[in-house]
Amino acid sequence: MSFASKAIKYFNGLKKPGSKFIGVDLINPYETDVVKNIVKEFYNKFYGDKHKRILVFGINPGRFGGGLTGISFTDPVALGEACKIENNLGERKELSSKFIYMVINEFGGTKKFFSRVFLTALYPFAIIKNGKNYNYYDEKPLAQKLKPEIINTIKSQIKFGARRDFVVLLGKKNANYFSEINNEFKFFDNVIVLEHPRYIMQYRLKKKDFYIKKYIDAISS
């Protein structure tokens, strides 16, 4: 099976957990036919081969990015303009997506980037609390509840076709959580940690070119 076939089967088969997650809401974009079709088109377009990719793990999708389109770090605008996949999901841009597609453009475009990199998240569903994006690690009890599912996410996505010599984690807290798991399961030989795109866009915008180069250097190693 190709990378695309495995990814499509996994994402379009995801089921949201039930009521045990009291206090947070979960968004599963893969429940809709619109997103299922986007997932099929995206992965068949960029991942229809058996080449191994560098896995780049974010935290969990934002409700206006991957939590809407089903494609990690990809808002509807980037999906249409950069990936050339038509959609009717709106025209709202997401900060993380804007930065990632700056990196992709600087790297040489979507075809070249996705032939080498697989963008994803440690937890596949958007987490919402009080109407706002929430991170899986913002509450220790939530992080502990989600740990078995996060481990399963990692295992499943490695099977798509992952390089195992190194992995890239976005965000220091995300990386710390992942590293404990990686130390136990030995999924990857090395972990490279990069600043999260949202952090860069919110707090380090004037240095965005420095961080774009840092990303490109990491995935070119």
Segment 58-78 mean pLDDT: 96
* Percent of the residues in the chain that have a pLDDT greater than 90, as a whole number: 94
Mean residue pLDDT of the chain comes to 96
Write down the pLDDT at residue 20: 66
**Of 90, 55, 122, 103, nearest to 201 (Cα)?**
103
Write down the pLDDT at residue 166: 98
User: For 31-59, how does the pLDDT look when each residue is reduced to its tens digit (9 = 90+)?
Assistant: 999 999 999 999 999 999 999 999 999 99
Query: Looking at the predicted structure, is the pLDDT value of residue 19 above 70?
Result: no
Q: Taking a C-beta distance cutoff of 8 angstroms, is the pair 165, 189 a contact? A: yes
Write down the pLDDT at residue 133: 93
User: For 89-104, how does the pLDDT look when each residue is reduced to its tens digit (9 = 90+)?
Assistant: 999 999 999 999 999 9
Question: Going from the N-terminus, what domains does the chain have, and what CATH number goes with each?
Answer: 3-219 (3.40.470.10)
* Continuous H helices in 24-139: 33-46, 66-69, 76-81, 95-107, 110-114
118 sits in which H/E element: strand 117-121
Q: Phi and psi at residue 100, in whole multiples of 5°? A: -60, -40
Q: Which residues contact 17 (CB under 8 A, 6 or more apart)?
A: 26, 149
User: For 165-213, how does the pLDDT look when each residue is reduced to its tens digit (9 = 90+)?
Assistant: 999 999 999 999 999 999 999 999 999 999 999 999 999 999 999 999 9
pLDDT level of residue 221 (50, 70, 90 thresholds):
confident
* Continuous H helices in 66-164: 66-69, 76-81, 95-107, 110-114, 140-161
Spatial separation of the C-alpha atoms in residues 98 and 83, rounded to whole Å: 13
